[in-house]
Structure 1
Amino acid sequence: MDPLRKHFDPDTSIPIELVLHSTKNLQSELPDHLHDWHEIIYVHSGTGSFFINHSFYEMQAGDLYLIPGNTIHRTLPHSEEPITSSAMFFSGQYIQSTSIGKDAYSFLRCFDLAKSERHYRIELLAAERVRIESLIDEMNEEVRMRQPGCKQAVLLLLQTVLLHTNRKMSTGEPKQQHGSNHPQWLQSALEFIDARLVENISLSMLASRAAVSTSYFSRMFKQLTGINVTDYIIAKRIMHAKELIGSTDHTIAEIANQCGFESLPHFYRMFKKLSGTTPAHYKRVDDRHL
């Protein structure tokens, strides 16, 4: 099992990481990402496929993607038109805690909406593209020049991106459907897994529901999501466990059981493998951020 986790340093003075104007190709792109920080991706040019949680998109210039923390995602750039994009990674707790009037305004509202609506793409108008590209260029210049206060400047620019994104999502513009060129049986399988994480889900069960062979199901699942079926199910269970750790007072044993792990040692091993830490330590860190 090896869903590649992107590592961040949680102890940096300003927990933000920028990867600006980066060109992706099939050789350089990670098969999939799973990390606790929030992520914004803006597509400058190129085309490709993007899998986020349980949704598929065809990427194009002007797209803005919102990826909440603790979400499986994977890009597959097209070989003839590689994606050039800018990615902004950041700690959600830090972004929110530095706002004026902590409870008065949520910079993370756009991520909450994306998650609740299961729609992670925003298609920007021409003027909106100019504005966000200008903000990205300003971030890039701050990082390049490294003048006094550059980290604070990057933080303010990122909060400005989030402010405009929140306003864009509040307009009620219709959202285009995703995944039209991906098999419906795969979309159905992803939704089935999400709804039955606590149950015993097997490859043969999923293939039978999709009316395809187990070998075909397994091959196509890995090709389109970047992760095999068993590893995907375990990753989703660990993601759910993290949500329960942060939102309930249940014991670690209770959470393991609620997420479909029959063995507590197995839960600890998988949690450590995917998160880089133990459930108990993850809970202590989460409690400090409350």
Structure 2
Amino acid sequence: MQAVHKPFEDREQFPFNLVYQDTKSPQRELPDHLHDWHELIYVYSGKGTLFINHAFYDMQPGDVFLVPGNTVHRAFPDEQSPVTSSALFFAPSLIQPMDLGESYSLLRCFEQARKRKQYKLETSAAERSAIEACLREIKREQTARQPNYRVAILIRIHELLLALNRMAVPVSAADDGPGAEPAWMRRTLSHIDANPGAAGLKLADLSGMAAVTPSHFSRVFKQLTGMNVTDYVVVKRIMRSKELLLQTDDGIGSICTLCGFDSESYFYKKFKQVTGMTPSAYRRGGRKSR
């Protein structure tokens, strides 16, 4: 199963969405997906596992997960005790920089999560109360839609981001303990993440590096990530191509090659399949929103 590009309704003026206190069984959970918006997940109850980028995390009440835009992720709720959580989505452009004489960004928590590849925050009782109150107020404003409700929501989002930025450094990536993924799996995911455009990322190559049989490798990889090796590598390559399209002036053919695709037609097909648009349209849209 290939990663799904999660669409949001057109919210050009106010790129925000809140899914409040939602409980999902394993059957209702989305497959691996990604989107350009940042996502904040807060867990109220239940348990499960959350796969973000190339790390696996236990989900427990009070946990906060920061999922930067363009990051593959998927939740695996526990069948007996499914997770109830709120998910706050917003485009980075919603949070405009403020020149207050301080070198500070409200998006710092997401920037640090991406840089450190550590996406989980554990909270104190006081922090949990503050986060829950903030999300509750956002939901109230979203539902009531009183005059200037968007301003009220934005103020609450600012409060929430400020609180998250003041919290301690995120806990270490990839929880260890019973049921944690094998060491060879962690090494494999890190290798793909660091070298998405490299050759030698086929099942036979990776299982050889891991010193396990291809069938065992394939079974464990699919069980833990929800995707087969080929689809996972393709998504990682598309994610890298999205960065290059916005951050460089390289031609699309050059980006195609740099990201490990053998043909432009296949690259175009997969890019549109994952993002919902062509590489050219993605580049134009990304630059227009800057």
Q: TM-score interval w.r.t. the shorter chain?
A: over 0.9
The AA in structure 1 aligned to 2:171 is K
- The separation in 1 between residues aligned to 2:34 and 2:224, in whole angstroms, is 16
TM-score after normalising by structure 1: 0.94
Contact map agreement 2:52 2:73 (CA 8 A) in 1: yes
Question: What is the rounded CA distance, in whole Å, between the counterparts of 1:242 and 1:33 in structure 2?
Answer: 15
> In 2, distance between residues paired with 1:53 and 1:283?
23
Q: 2 CA distance for matches of 1:177 and 1:193?
A: 17
The within-5 A match list for 1:126-165 is 126-165=125-164
Stretches of structure 2 lacking an aligned partner (at least 5 in a row): none
Distance 1:212 1:248 in 2: 39
What amino acid is aligned across from residue 158 of structure 1 in structure 2? I
More divergent stretch after superposition (199-208 vs 129-138): 199-208
The amino acid across from 2:220 in the alignment is M
1:231 match: 231
- Quick one: distance in 2 between partners of 1:4 and 1:261? 20
SS of the counterpart of 1:82?
coil
Q: Over residues 239-281 of structure 1, what are the superposed CA-to-partner deviations in whole Å (9 max), with x where a residue is unaligned?
A: 0011111111111111111111121111111111101001111
Query: Does the Cα contact within 8 Å between 2:120 and 2:173 map onto a contact in 1?
Result: no
- Would the aligned equivalents of 2:55 and 2:173 in 1 still touch at CA under 8 Å? no
Question: Which of these residues, 167, 171, 176, is aligned with residue 175 of structure 1?
Answer: 171
Counterpart secondary structure, 1:209:
helix
Give runs of aligned pairs for residues 3-42 of structure 1, distance below 5 A.
3-42=3-42
Deviations 1:8-37 (A, max 9, x none): 134442110100100111111112111111
d(CA) in 2 for partners of 1:221, 1:246? 31
**Displacement of 1:81:** 1.1
Match of 2:253 in 1: 253
- Report SS of the residue matched to 1:182: coil
Partner of 1:191: 190
- 2:45 touches 2:61 (CA, 8 Å); kept in 1? yes
Stretch moving more, 24-33 or 124-133: 24-33
The whole-number CA distance in structure 2 between the counterparts of 1:19 and 1:236 is 26
**Counterpart of 1:123?**
122
Q: Render the CA deviation track for 1:131-159: whole Å, top value 9, x for unaligned.
A: 00000111111122221111221121112
Q: Secondary structure at the match of 1:131?
A: helix
Q: CA, structure 1 residues 31+14, in 2 after alignment: closer, same or farther (shift >3 Å)?
A: same
Q: Secondary structure at the match of 1:216?
A: helix
Paired amino acid for 2:140: E
Q: Note closer, same or farther for the CA distance 1:126–1:195 as it changes in structure 2 (3 Å cut).
A: same
C-alpha separation in 2, matches of 1:2 and 1:259: 18
Partner of 1:101: 99
The offset of 1:2, in angstroms, is 3.1
Give 1:179 shift. 3.2
Whole-angstrom CA distance in 2 between matches of 1:174 and 1:109 = 12
What's the offset of the Cα at 1:176? 3.9
CA RMSD of aligned residues (A): 1.6
The two structures have a TM-score, normalised by structure 2, of 0.94
Q: What SS does structure 2 have at the residue aligned with 1:19?
A: strand
CA distance in 2 between counterparts of 1:155 and 1:167 reads 18
Structure 1: how far apart are the matches of 2:13 and 2:275?
Answer: 22
On the 8 A contact 1:40/1:64 being kept in 2, the answer is yes
Conserved in 2, the CA contact under 8 Å of 1:9 and 1:15?
A: no
1:197-236 mapped onto 2 (5 Å cutoff):
197-200=196-199, 201-236=201-236
